[in-house]
Chain A
Amino acid sequence: MIELWNRRDYFYMLFSEHLLISFVALLLVSIIGIGIGIWVFYSKKARTIVLPTVNFLYTIPSIAMFGLLIPLVGIGLRNALIVLVLYGLLPMVRNTFTGMKEVPLQFVEAAKGLGATRVQLFRKVYFPLALPSILSGLRITTVMIVALAGLAALIGAGGLGQAIFRGLNTMNTSLIVVGSLGISLFAIVGDKFVGTLEHKNNLLHLITSNATRRQKRVIISNVTVLCLLLLTAFLYINPLKMHDNGAITIASKPTSEQFIMGEILAQTIENNTDIKVYRKFGIGGGTTNIQPALLAGKLDMYVEYTGTALMNVLKYSALKTSRTTFQELQDTYLDKFKLHWVGLMGFNNTYSLAISKKDAKEKNIRSFSDLARYSDQYDFGAEFDFFERQDAYKGLIKTYPFHFANLHEMDINLRYQAFEDGQINALDVFTTDAQIEALQLAVLEDDKAYFPRYEAGIVVRQEVLEAHPEIETLLNCFTGAISTDKMKRMNYEVEVLKKTPKEVAADFLKELKTKG
């Protein structure tokens, strides 16, 4: 509880982001959805094309939709808004269309027969009589968008989902709980809010100018509260200040290690300079999304691993990767991207395979080759991309004769849990993972050096270093400063001892200062 209370600023920010994203998405989806609903009602031609399209959009899994849009609009708010709006369209369009279609013919005939023009017919009959249906669509959309906005954190748009993903990635249950409860609460309040518009036809009576004083009061007070909340949220995160000249935005991927590294960089700059620092931590998709944002100047620095840079960014083959020196990587990055690799930090967070220490001792398994001999006794679990990537499982079984009894594909965050539950007894690990210690795992030696090295280094935009030359000196202090064991320990402090990345980073910097 105290931990949560201490992080209240973080939660206020997530709440504010969530509120603003959901509100803007809802506003857009209402305008566009109602517009399309009306259009398809009047145009039969449009109906045959638009309705199936809207249906189709709804069936695309939302995570995939976020991903599909990345090459088109990149990551962040814009991407999130587009996805939320596309999803929200179905209930809005359908309910508007159905609401209008189901206006009883007698009222339409009466209005026509009494001399209403097309526009009057729409304004005085169709729209007001379709309004209850439109509002019930809006209610569904509100709940859906608030919930779906939770996924926006995956593409760096922030919101309460960030707490959930941070929690999942750092094994912090209380963060997951706060994030999920926050979203549920939000959805309930949102539903209630739209519900008051629907209740006793409050909004309908307001627009047909026959609301009672009480109805007016209910709507006005609700809208006032919403506006105040929006204003507070807006002032709280103040998106305009993001364009501060000279401010530095530090990114991280969504792992404990990356959160700690991000904090270390951020605190170092904050403690030693007057430069304003923005933290864009936990960006889903990692390098895939951070690299383009760096090139676009939206992010300024982060910690990257050599293996990822060579294979995923530069698209080198495994062979070429193993032969490229750090100096060559530095030169290529500078040449190609105007990105600077400040020296390597010292730890190697590469892939390895692990089994329980007990097993390793009993069967005398020390290396991958040893494991291969016993592999038919092992159920092997790994994350989805481990099985998919050429440089992971597919190449691994060509180098070592593994014949695992069973293979289990799962989310990266669940494989340790699966190990603990006895579902699997061999798994892939990253060499700095906290659970290696927590679960008493034996990390095996890659005796044929199959996996490339993933040495951590700081990547900074050249422009930033030119504008703030003092930063380079500061960052150079980290060269060789963190061993693989030290990194594993820090991850353990976050994931198992439940310290915040901020605290762990601060402790590390203190330690470094006394040493240095």
Chain B
Amino acid sequence: MSSNIMIDIDHVSFAYDSEEVLHDYSLEIESGSFVCITGESGCGKSTLLRLMNGLLIPQKGEIRICDKILHADNLLTIRRMMGYILQDGSLFPHLTVYQNMTFCMNLQHASEKACQQRIDELLPLLNLSPDLLHKFPDELSGGQRQRVGIIRGIAHRPKIVLMDEPFSSLDPETRESLQDLVKDIHQKMKTTFVMITHSLSEAEKLGTTIVRIQ
């Protein structure tokens, strides 16, 4: 297998109870690409993303991340190579913006200095003011929350960034500006991005590869 493949989904099947969502599904995602996965709701695109970061375990087939087969023992190591960005940010309501942004770095015991440096670096990239750092998520606008969510997902310099319909709850204007931002970040970070979206136009705008699940 080519070492250029970052995520290799190999003949994977997955069912909730008796309802099969993915059947013998295979997909290869190249390093550095921006893959947008689209499809009707219920087609299994979110399931696929959860399989990639081990929140779900496939019943058949296997998933390789950087050539390592994903299983219970290396789950944590592999997850920490990834960033995870969810709808509406899913920011922790009891933590400040700064604490949310450095959540992953803290899980990995990064020093306070390193955290601060990294946030200083990322704030301008996301057009966020340092004044927000000590606020709580419920004091932010939807767009601001999603920007914080993006920083939380990329602050620890992941090799893969997974995004689950990150812009679906935003108004069109904010959505567009954030799409541009993400595109820009992808180009600067040169990491692999996988995004789930139900909007084909969004996929066409951002993706270097578009995967449609039927």
Contact = CB atoms under 8 A, between A and B. Distances in A.
Contact of A208 (B53, B90, B94, B104): B94
Interface in B90-108: 90, 92-96, 99, 103-104, 107-108
Given A115-B79, A208-B99, A210-B99, A110 B94 contact: no
Contacts of B80: 115
A201 interface: yes
Contact of B55 (A109, A117, A120, A124): A109
Interface residues of A, number: 22
B99 A106 contact: no
Contact of A107 (B53, B84, B92): B92
Contacts of B185: none
A208 B95 contact: yes
A125 interface: yes
Nearest to B99: A210
A109 B47 CA distance: 13
B94 A114 contact: no
B90 A107 contact: yes
Contacts of B79: 112-115
Q: Which of B83, B95, B96, B162 has the most CB of A within 10 A?
A: B95
Nearest to A118: B76
Interface string A95-115: 000000000001101111111
A215 to B, nearest CB: 13
B152 interface: yes
Q: Is the interface of B mostly helix, strand, loop or mixed?
A: mixed
A204 interface: yes
A360 interface: no
A205 B90 CA distance: 19
Given A114-B152, A115-B76, A120-B107, A109 B86 contact: yes
Nearest to A205: B94
A329 interface: no
A482 interface: no
Given A115-B80, A129-B94, A208-B99, A106 B86 contact: yes
Interface string B161-172: 010000000000
A114 B76 contact: no
Nearest to B49: A113
Contacts of A107: 90, 92-93
A112 B55 contact: yes
Q: Which of B84, B134, B153 has the most CB of A within 10 A?
A: B84
Contact of B53 (A113, A116, A129, A204): A113
A158 interface: no
A116 B55 contact: no
Contacts of A110: 84, 86, 90, 92
A124 B92 CA distance: 9
B50 to A, nearest CB: 8
B92 A114 contact: no
A282 interface: no
Contacts of B94: 128-129, 201, 204-205, 208
A112 B84 CA distance: 10
A129 B153 CA distance: 21
Contacts of B107: 114-117, 120, 124
Q: Which of A113, A129, A204, A210 has the most CB of B within 10 A?
A: A113
Given A107-B92, A208-B94, A114 B99 contact: no
A114 B103 contact: yes
Interface in B49-107: 53, 55, 76, 79-80, 82-84, 86-87, 90, 92-96, 99, 103-104, 107
Q: Which of B99, B107, B152 has the most CB of A within 10 A?
A: B107
A209 B107 CA distance: 15
Contact of B76 (A111, A117, A208): A117
A114 B55 CA distance: 10
Given A114-B79, A120-B107, A210 B95 contact: yes
Nearest to B89: A110
Contacts of A106: 86-87, 90
A110 B76 CA distance: 14
A358 B83 CA distance: 94
Nearest to A201: B94
A236 B206 CA distance: 74
Contacts of A124: 92, 103, 107
Nearest to B78: A115
Contacts of A113: 53, 55, 79, 82, 84, 86, 162
Nearest to A204: B94
A328 B99 CA distance: 81
B89 to A, nearest CB: 9
Contacts of A116: 107
B55 A115 contact: no
Contacts of A204: 94
Q: Which 9 A/B pairs are nearest by Cβ-Cβ distance?
A: A113-B84, A115-B80, A115-B79, A110-B90, A106-B90, A128-B94, A210-B96, A114-B104, A113-B53
23 contacts: A106-B86, A106-B87, A106-B90, A107-B93, A109-B55, A110-B86, A110-B92, A113-B53, A113-B162, A114-B84, A114-B104, A114-B107, A114-B152, A114-B153, A115-B107, A116-B107, A124-B103, A129-B94, A201-B94, A208-B94, A208-B95, A210-B95, A210-B134
Given A114-B83, A208-B94, A208-B99, 6 more contacts: A113-B162, A114-B79, A114-B104, A114-B153, A115-B79, A115-B108
